[in-house]
Amino acid sequence: MQKLRTQVGIIGAGPAGLLLAHLLHRSGVESVVLEICTREYVEGRIRAGVLEQGTVDLLNACGIGDRMKREGLVHNGIEIRFNGDGHRIDFPGLTGGKRITVYGQHEVVKDLISARLQYGSVLLFGVSEVTVHDLQSSRPSIRYMHADELWELNCDFIAGCDGFHGVSRPSIPPGVLTAYEHTYPMAWLGILAQVAPSSQELIYAHHGRGFALLSMRSPEVSRLYLQCEPDESLTNWPDDRIWEELDSRLHDDHGWTLKQGPVLQKSVTGMRSFVVEPMQFGRLFLAGDAGHIVPPTGAKGMNLAVSDVEILSRAITAFYRERSQDMLNGYSAACLKNVWQAQRFSAWMTLLLHKIPGQSSFDARRQLAELAYVTSSLAAATTLAENYVGLSNRA
């Protein structure tokens, strides 16, 4: 068995793991990042792309934001559309100047990988058979196969940034974690289309046929979603039907037109909420999807992961600089404060905008009344805006 030593072993080369490694590097803390997938797969997988103001500020502050500033799409609001009318939520006007930036998660990952390789840090793709050991000791370890050899990475801390299906969370002994989860009775059919976005800002549409969302990835590529059944088959959705349904659900009564183009990708994503408490066990710390999942309506998934690792990097840095474990001991509580606020907002946005299967005519009318209130009340619109751009106590 080959052996390797570092201060922090990081499992997962998504945005959480890579950003944690970068933040630690800037603080003089060594780390090794292990990823089971190839670099090509990690850089190519399309995920969320809405960055809160705090996420943008952090990426800029740590030297990762140059390409984001050139290519990211800064948005000053979103539109909520129902009953044929659009209602704009003005983010800067309601939040004291805060905005969002549309910049794909895979683009952030590319930037972070480039930075890690530039600094000569250890980043291993294509590892397998990953296991963690001695989590309650001061010298935990990670074992894995790489290039047909068995390796043991000895470290002071392990960061589990390997997503919902990774090995980190299941490695915590039974009975330690409490899981809270909710499955929503709807899913999103998502498409990526080679066509310029039909709006300069995101459009969230409530419609009698179901929810729709117009988003984008670049000035030339649109990202669009339709509410569908959780067990929906893509064979039921030829391109013509997708565009017809999008046009119907996003329609307004004022001449707006949906641009159409070649569909590049299709996928169905179920909607659920999931949280485990605590997000730590011994020297293992969970971050990102390893510890929580939110429905995508509130655009919080990646931003929560960034918040987690910002907190964790500060805690680990304090341990090495001050020999203090106070922040490490409080890591889970600090993260969960933000996680539950994001869960609350994401659930509210989901139930506000979607057609709820089996809802009564009373509930449907009540939902429309709530949409009218949210878009006409300064107080209600401010609440939506400040949650969407990111609460100030996120880290």
Active site residues: 75, 204, 296, 300, 388
187 and 271 Cβ atoms separated by less than 8 Å: yes
Q: What is the dihedral of CA 10, 285, 174, 12, to 10 degrees?
A: -30
Both structure tokens of 387: 């949650």
Single-letter residue type at 216: M
Q: Which residues contact 26 (CB under 8 A, 6 or more apart)?
A: 62, 63
| Strands, sheet with 31-34, edge to edge from the N-terminal-most edge strand | 122-124, 31-34, 8-11, 157-160, 284-286, 280-281
Token pair in block for residue 393 = 């106590």
Report the distance separating Cα 215 and Cα 217, nearest Å. 7
Encoded amino acid at 150, one letter: L
Distances (CA, A) of 55 to 7, 60, 100, 276, 293: 25, 9, 9, 23, 18
Angle at the Cα of 325 (from 324 to 327), degrees rounded to 5?
Answer: 105
Q: Which two tokens stand for residue 43?
A: 């850089």
